[in-house]
Structure 1
Amino acid sequence: MKILVVSDTHGRERNLERVLEKVAPVDALIHLGDVEGHEDYIECLAGCPAYIVSGNNDFFSDLPREREIQLGNYKALLTHGHYYGVSMGTERLEEEGRVRGVQIVMYGHTHRPLIEQLEDITILNPGSLSYPRQIGREPSFLIMEIDRKGEAHYTINYLKN
């Protein structure tokens, strides 16, 4: 199973289109917020099940604030992260994930990619395809693959211009 995880496109989908062309086919698309009204276009573009949550810039959106979904043998919490103060660290998000009994927490908001594998929980942030903030400022996304044994593997990828 191959899952594309993105965040913070902010209404600029050209890079998402490029990523989908590059990594297709995918079994699911996860968008962790700040779609700015383009959720219908993103769902159509995905061509597979799409799980989208609202971000702090998704004003007047009907998107859910958070979602819990099953990915293979893993239960995942999807959130934009701003309600958990992720700009200051992931501690509150980790705690929430443990309380909910999930194995994976995915968030956006910081525009910085992260894979943090702890003993009992994995914290993931794909960064931003539109406004990256990490060193080098390259648009980033994450691929989650679940192998034949049911084990998850994660890679941060960069979209070269």
Structure 2
Amino acid sequence: MKVLIVSDTHGKDEKLEEAVMRETPFDYLIHCGDVEGREFFIEALAECPCTIVSGNNDFFSDLQREAEIELEGHRILVTHGHYYGVSMDIYGLVDEAKSRNVQIVMFGHTHKPMAEIRDGVLVINPGSLSYPRQEGRKPSYAVMEIEEGKEPEVELRFLSR
């Protein structure tokens, strides 16, 4: 199963459209928050099942604060991350994932892409397609290949500015 993971699009649709077109076909889309009112557009654009959570800029949103989903036998926690202090450190988020028996946690908020294993938990931040903050400041997202009984494979991908 191919999963497209994005975050922090902040209502700017051009780069999101570019990532979707580049990665089509995919089976599932996860958005880690700060969609700024564009959830219906994202769902229509993806044309597949989606999980979208609210971020700190999703004022008056009906989106859920976080979601626990299961894909191909892997338990996943999706959150924006601001309630876990991810701007300072991700250990609180990793501890939360472990306490829920979750193998994968996905978050946004920092606008800095990462994919690594911390304390046995696969931690993924796709970065931001609209306002990247990492060195080089290229818009980023992640693609995860996930199958039951196998370790997920994650690749961070970048668009040109």
What TM-score, normalized to structure 1? 0.97
2:67 matches 1:76: no
Tell me the residue number matched to 2:99: 99
Q: Distance in 2 between matches of 1:158 and 1:119?
A: 27
Q: C-alpha separation between the residues in 1 aligned to 2:34 and 2:89? A: 19
1:87-120 per-position Cα deviation (integer Å, ceiling 9, x unaligned): 0010100000000110000000000001121352
Q: How many residues align?
A: 161
1:118 paired residue number? 118
Q: Paired residue for 1:129?
A: 129
CA separation in 2, counterparts of 1:105 and 1:150?
17
Counterparts of 2:73 and 2:148 in 1: how far apart (Å)? 12
Aligned residue for 2:140?
140
> Secondary structure of 1:97's partner?
helix
% identical aligned pairs = 55
Contact 1:97/1:105 (<8 A) preserved: yes
- Structure 2: 5+ residue runs without aligned partners? none
What letter is aligned with 2:94?
Answer: E
For the aligned residues, what is the CA RMSD?
1.1
Cα distance in structure 2, aligned partners of 1:105 and 1:149: 18
TM-score w.r.t. the length of structure 2 is 0.97
Which aligned runs of 4 or more in structure 1 are off by greater than 6 angstroms? none
Structure 1, unmatched stretches of 5+, are none
SS at the partner of 2:86? coil
Instruction: Give the residue type in structure 2 aligned to 1:36.
Output: E
